[in-house]
Amino acid sequence: MPLCLRMCLAAGDCVLMRPSDSDKPPYVARIEKLEADHRNNVKVRVRWYYRPEESIGGRRQFHGAKELFLSDHFDVQSAHTIEGKCIVHTFKNYTKLENVGAEDYFCRFEYKAATGGFTPDRVAV
């Protein structure tokens, strides 16, 4: 069931999350679950996307400017830290966009945060 605060949110939506350091870009996450407690404090269970520079291997030459990695890192956050929605496309769909907006990203790898491993472990460039 969607939740509407400043915007309507539902499980599966991708969102921009406010970082504690305002000099950093917003974090990107996918909402897995929304829950409100008895005082209507809304929490979101999220699965984080990592930027290449946040991964163990760092940013490489073949990584796109708007590339993200879907991680196995889950967390629970206050819904009030959500800045807005974004769209994380498959790489194939991203390359077909006529206009790439500020809210458009793409993902072609899953990232294991603890080990730094990727799935798939190689890609054609």
What does the domain layout of the chain look like in residue ranges? 3-119
pLDDT in tens, 35-57: 988 888 899 999 999 999 999 98
In CATH terms, the fold of domain 3-119 is: SH3 type barrels. (2.30.30)
> What is the C-alpha separation between 78 and 104, in angstroms, rounded?
23
Model confidence, pTM: 0.89
Question: 88 exposed, middle or buried (CB, 10 Å; 0-12, 13-18, 19+)?
Answer: buried
CB atoms within 10 A of CB 64: 13
Coil, strand or helix at 8? strand
Q: Which residue reads 């996307």 in tokens?
A: 49
Q: What is the pLDDT of residues 61-115, one digit of tens each?
A: 989 999 999 999 999 999 999 999 999 999 999 999 999 999 999 999 999 999 9
